[in-house]
Amino acid sequence: MPVAVVDAESAHAAGVQRLLQSYRAAPATAPIRLAKSTSNLFRTRTKNTARGLDTSGLTGVIAVDVATRTADVAGMCTYDDLVAETLRFGLAPLVVPQLKTITLGGAVTGLGIESTSFRNGLPHESVLEMDILTGAGEIIAASPDQNADLFRAFPNSYGTLGYAVRLRIELEPVKPFVALTQVRFHSLVDLVAAMDSIMATGSLDGVDVDYLDGVVFGADESYLCVGRQTSAPGPVSDYTGQQIYYRSIQHDRGGTDDRLTIHDYLWRWDADWFWCSEAFGAQHPLIRRIWPGRYRRSSFYGKLMKLEQRFHIGDRIEKLNGRPPRERVVQDVEVPIERCAEFLDWFSINVPITPIWLCPVRLKGDDRWPLYPIRPHRSYVNVGFWSTVPVGSSEGATNRLIERKVGELDGHKSLYSDSYYSRPEFDKLYGGESYRAVKKRYDPDSRLLDLYAKAVQRR
């Protein structure tokens, strides 16, 4: 075994021991959480008094097995670090969520998605086995054949059933470049039909498709971003500097072509946090020239957003201009593809937010995942929208409206942001009965938060 692998495994084992020691140092009745400085959650919470567990030794790639196309990865390893390691071997995770600071453990317990999801499903579907720290303070192995109830319930549990300290995941081979075609549509119905066709055939005009997502700028201007891997050399675009990726998508013709390295394609959305960097002035040409490159990334914009939330800067500005405060609408929802155009039409009338991100998804396998019960063999579209709207007559008025509409269309929404469901609604949508059974077995003393308390009551 190579020395580097032995060293990585030893370092990981030491990290697990520090994690366990920090757990055992906590008072027996005290709630626990992970000690970490970053988060990709967008919920407003009450002050968290839970003791933070030491995760400092759980941030790396433990080993990559080229022969089996698998990787052993610590739970707090970011996809930025994971991809940097796997690309050295011409491999990548089956699904790489859009932002560099998302961790593998976070994407599995909180769900993730990207432009390979139409063929590879969601990140948890490529997990072969996990070591999980349960609320009872035990490290247990979970797989389809061992502690299978926890393995199945872990996705969408958001750390309320335990924390993954090691995950073994599948990898797939990738080529050095991605050739892109941005196809414009003047009708949302036509765009959704084209997306559905690509999902069914895996191709566009007879050419295999490796990556697929889309952007809606308006009812009469939307695009599918179709990518295929290639080894052919040639010029590539760079969207980490003055150029902005989502602006490059827009054009007047039927389709335009672009090329990126595989690395830059995977992180194409990170430099501007999709399009959300505009709220901080980072897309203004003059400001962008002096904006340091190391701060042109989603993690820095996230810090700015948290400062805004803490000091209510946006609401203060609105008040100075004689306008009411605004409601944050930061959501990703999954809608069955046959209802997607209907949802987009409704959204354009009722929610004044553009652009909108579209990402088709179809579960990779036949398995059902009780805490996020979208159906196998059914096509969905993830619709992502991240902005603010004028406040309504009640708290979360627009978010509640969206929740009701998504429910009417037999869809689901992710729980990383604000939710307003009643307890019965939540249990029906997110496998409440299954969740409670697994919770009772692996966290009998409720050392970890309850999922409803964490996702809706925002504790």
Q: How confident is the model at residue 379 (pLDDT cuts 50, 70, 90)?
A: very high
Q: Would you state the pLDDT for residue 2?
A: 57
CATH fold group of domain 3-174: 3.30.465
Residue 92 · residue 66 · CB < 8 Å? no
Q: Which segment, 216-225, 307-316, 317-326, is predicted with the most confidence on average?
A: 216-225
Q: What percent of the chain has pLDDT above 70?
A: 95
Is residue 153 a contact partner of residue 441, using CB atoms and an 8 Å limit?
no
- Range of weakest confidence among 249-258, 354-363, 424-433: 249-258
- In this prediction, residue 41 carries a pLDDT of 65
Q: Taking a C-beta distance cutoff of 8 angstroms, is the pair 342, 409 a contact? A: yes
Region 408-437: mean pLDDT is 96
> Mean pLDDT, to the nearest integer, of 152-179?
97
Quick one: pLDDT at residue 3?
Answer: 45
Residue 331 has a pLDDT of 96
Half-sphere exposure of 132 (CA within 13 A, CB side): 32
3-state secondary structure 401-428: HHHHHHHHCCCEECCCCCCCCCHHHHHH
**Residue 5: per-residue pLDDT:** 60
Predicted confidence band of residue 49 (pLDDT cuts 50, 70, 90):
low
DSSP character at residue 276: G
User: Six-digit token pair at 81?
Assistant: 């670090």
Q: What is the per-residue pLDDT across 344-360, written as a single tens digit (0 to 9) for each?
A: 999 999 999 999 999 99
pLDDT of residue 132: 98
Quick check: 282 pLDDT over 70? Answer: yes
Q: So what's the pLDDT on residue 399? A: 97
Predicted confidence at residue 317, as pLDDT, reads 78
The reported pLDDT for the residue numbered 46 is: 57
Across the range 8-21, mean pLDDT stands at 94
Mean pLDDT is highest, among 24-38, 87-101, 309-323, for 87-101
The angle, 0 to 180 degrees and rounded to 10, between the axes of the packed helices 188-201 and 337-350 is 150
For 86-132, give the DSSP string. Answer: HGGGTEEES---SSTT-BHHHHHHH----TTHHHH--GGGGEEEEEE
- Asked whether residue 4 carries a pLDDT value surpassing 80, the answer given is no
Q: Over 60: is that where the pLDDT of 323 sits? A: yes
At residue 318, does pLDDT exceed 80? no
pLDDT tens digits, one per residue of 210-255:
999 999 999 999 999 999 999 999 999 999 999 999 999 999 876 7
Q: Mean pLDDT, to the nearest integer, of 385-397? A: 93
| 151, 252, 264, 335 from 97: Cα distances, Å | 21, 29, 13, 19
CB 84 within 8 A of CB 96: no
Lowest average pLDDT, out of 50-64, 302-316, 393-407, goes to 302-316
388 secondary structure, DSSP code: E
pLDDT-derived band at 410 (thresholds 50, 70, 90) equals: very high
Q: pLDDT exceeding 90 applies to what percent of the chain?
A: 84
Q: What is the DSSP string of 179-241?
A: EEEEEEES-HHHHHHHHHHHHHHSEETTEE-SEEEEEEEETTEEEEEEEEEE---------SS
Is 332's pLDDT higher than 80?
Answer: yes
The C-alpha angle with vertex 454 and arms to 449 and 459, in degrees rounded to 5, equals: 90
pLDDT of 337 reads 98
Cα–Cα distance for residue pair 64/128, rounded to 1 Å: 14
What is the rounded distance in angstroms from the CA atom of residue 325 to the CA atom of residue 314?
8
CB–CB of 368/438 below 8 Å?
no
Structure tokens at 78: 């970011």
Buried b (16+ CB within 10 A) or exposed e, 154-175: bbbbbbbbbbbbbbbbbbbebe
pLDDT of residue 47: 56
Give the 3-state secondary structure of residue 263. helix
Record the pTM. 0.94
User: How many CA atoms lie within 13 Å of 259's alpha carbon, on the beta-carbon side?
Assistant: 11
